[in-house]
A and B are shown apart, each in its own frame.
Chain A
Amino acid sequence: MIFHPAIMALLVGSLLVTLMLLYSSYYGVQVIRKWDIKSGSELQLCLERRTYLVSIIMSYMLFFQLASFYLFIFTADAIHATFVSAMCAAGSLNVNEYGYPAVIIKMVNFLFAGTWLIINYADNRAYDYPLIKKKYLLLLVITPLMVAEFIVQGAYFIGLKANVITSCCGSLFSTDAEGIASEIAALPRLPMKIAFYLSTALTLASGMYFCLRSDWSGYVFSFLSIATFVVSVAAMISFISLYFYELPTHHCPFCILQKDYGFIGYLLYIALFGGAVSGLGTGALMPFRKIQSLSQIVPSIQRRLAFTALILYFLFTVVVTYRMIFSDFILEGY
């Protein structure tokens, strides 16, 4: 393990968030088993109060999750100098087999936490807590994932060993260390371009349709926006990053967050993640349109979410396309 301050910060943060979630899960189980809105018992009153606590914890968790995602990528980038042949975060994450799983699980947790907050928001707008058991079931799904994140991230950091000079000779020759792959395997460019624009176009179309009609197409839109999210991340690695770096070989999806590229990565990733959470939330609320106390509330929330997702995905596509067209770099030359 490397004793880097940022690594310690990440481990501390992850531990605290996990403990908070375990604490709320304990009450989640009680809510699922004993919740009865009609009862006036002391337990029910107590549980109703606890729901406030869980909402606070989840809102903070989402925020910390976002911040820790950022810190994680930056830490991976900061420690790359410690490893032979790692050039940036992409290389550091390849040092052991837990690096990329940690990134993926962090992404998944972020999407889940966002969806939870959306459901929670809808639930709190109704007078009779119609979604309470469902949202606590979702909480019981998120908690093990957070525990998994804590473990995988811990395994990644503990498994890191710096290649430093040893007393017998330079590290390179003492360990027979194979250079780690400093690049990510990227999918072929042309099919990815087609997939990216196709999925974005379909998502935008279905989103607009849903905003106008507000019917079952919400499911289609939600599914498509998640598909677009996955395709966009793959496209980021496959060809988008190349246009920003103006290098035909550098596929790293993280360097784009650096100062050298004008921090444009933040805009892109905020748009992408924001779009994915809004799109996912639209679909997650679909089954609840029929609940009587929510029938007025959910459609308007959904429309707002779908609209947000549309704007964000559109923004992402515009920025990317602008760069592809107006960059001096012509990828087809390579």
Chain B
Amino acid sequence: MSRFNKQRNILDFTLSSLLRRRTKNSALVIVYTLIVFSLASVLFFTQAIKKEACIVLQNSPEIIVQRIVAGRHDLLPADYIDTIRAIRGVQSAKGRLWGYYFEPAAGANYTLMVSEEPGVEVGRIVIGQGVSRTIHANRADIVPFRRYDGSYTSFEVSDILSSESELVSSDLVLISESDFREMMGIRGEYVTDAAVYAKNKRELFMIADKIKRILPDTRPITKDEILRTYEAIFDWRGGILLVILSGAVIAFVILAWDKASGLSSDERREIGILKGIGWETSDVIAMKFWEGAVISLSSFSLGIILAYIHVFFASSALFEPALKGWSVLYPEFRLVPHMDPLQIATLFFLTVVPYTVSTIVPSWRAATIDPDTVMRL
């Protein structure tokens, strides 16, 4: 208990001496907080968007089969789907029809998709929130589209997709199959690609392998592979941004080193007097430890809280373009707040550890000051 009380008293003293040098310390805390804030924003954002991508991809087909011609994605002959369906273990295989449409007036790309569920009547379309915002189209409005041969056709907006699904449906235009084929000039025996589902999820790799062998000009892509790629891309983006920010971290470490080693004559005298009245070197070291702990803990928590607000309530306005990518029809969405211990530990190693390491030698030097040399000054 006495040891506990001793540390408590040292902490008490440290706090009051930190408060006495308010300006010097608050400058350090501000910079520290800023560093934690920037790094934490990057981490929170990448993690949250990765989560979002995972949730979105939960509903994607287990295997997507594309046809590759001369190394490029091409239309898939519809009879391939029957071949795939005949593979043992395949529960269902469906052709999908989708494509992109560039709208010159808005400068935006739409994703056109033939929807079976819910079906869309001929001559009508269902549009996403982003499309609706960009061309100011509402229910029952008529929207013109340019066909593949240069002539124009128009559709009536029958519905607008809910904003809940905006992350995936912002740029979406749902259309009927005959309208799509007519507009894009795709003949009846072709589809864009095929969505394959398996009865047993463990057989997915085997099925994908069989498709690849039976239809050598296709490329089957499993959901896992898409997830893996997203994972790698977002990690990479976060990593790159961290590398860029590492310059700031180094600058901060230099600042911390400088602050810790450049003791003012007041501080030196204080330590001299403390040692003169009986403090041991280890007590001064404990004081310095508490000083670092107080500064680190407050800046670290403050930085994390600010980053949390920045990412999840202010849609990470500062880093958005670098991390999200950009597009005219970018969906408006709010990320689901999420924070895990791995991020906190990562942040700790990127900020608190360098700070602590940079202050070890200066604080040791301060603690081993000879009392008489200081007090004589």
Contact = CB atoms under 8 A, between A and B. Distances in A.
A complexed with B: yes
Contact of B68 (A52, A67, A74, A168): A168
Nearest to A7: B239
B278 interface: no
B89 interface: no
Contacts of A40: none
A164 B346 contact: no
A71 interface: yes
Nearest to A167: B71
Nearest to B240: A3
B306 interface: no
B107 to A, nearest CB: 27
Given A71-B342, A163-B228, A13 B208 contact: no
Contacts of A32: none
A91 B356 CA distance: 34
B349 interface: yes
Contacts of B68: 168-169
Interface string B27-57: 0000000000000001100100000000000
Given A82-B231, A170-B225, A172-B222, A5 B238 contact: yes
A81 B220 contact: no
Q: How large is the interface on A (under 10, 10 to 19, 20 to 34, 35 or more residues)?
A: 35 or more
A326 interface: no
A98 interface: no
Interface in B341-358: 341-342, 345-350, 353-354, 356-357
Q: How large is the interface on B (under 10, 10 to 19, 20 to 34, 35 or more residues)?
A: 35 or more
B228 A8 contact: no
Nearest to A169: B219
Contacts of B92: none
A71 B42 CA distance: 18
Contacts of B243: 3, 8
Interface in B204-253: 205, 208-209, 212, 219-222, 224-229, 231-233, 235-236, 238-240, 242-243
Interface string A1-13: 0111111111011
B100 to A, nearest CB: 18
B221 A170 contact: yes
Interface stretch (A53-61, A131-139, A237-245, A284-292): A53-61
Contacts of B229: 164-165
Interface in B182-223: 205, 208-209, 212, 219-222
B368 A67 contact: no
B178 interface: no
A26 interface: no
B345 A2 contact: no
A5 B220 contact: no
Interface in A65-121: 67-68, 70-71, 74-75, 78-79, 81-84
A38 interface: no
A67 B356 CA distance: 14
A2 B231 CA distance: 10
19 contacts: A2-B232, A5-B43, A5-B46, A9-B345, A9-B350, A16-B357, A49-B281, A52-B368, A56-B285, A56-B364, A70-B345, A75-B342, A84-B224, A84-B228, A162-B232, A163-B225, A169-B68, A169-B219, A171-B228
Interface of B: 42-43, 46, 68, 71, 205, 208-209, 212, 219-222, 224-229, 231-233, 235-236, 238-240, 242-243, 281-282, 285, 341-342, 345-350, 353-354, 356-357, 360-361, 363-364, 367-368
Given A9-B347, A12-B353, 9 more contacts: A8-B242, A16-B357, A53-B361, A56-B285, A67-B345, A68-B349, A162-B228, A164-B233, A171-B228
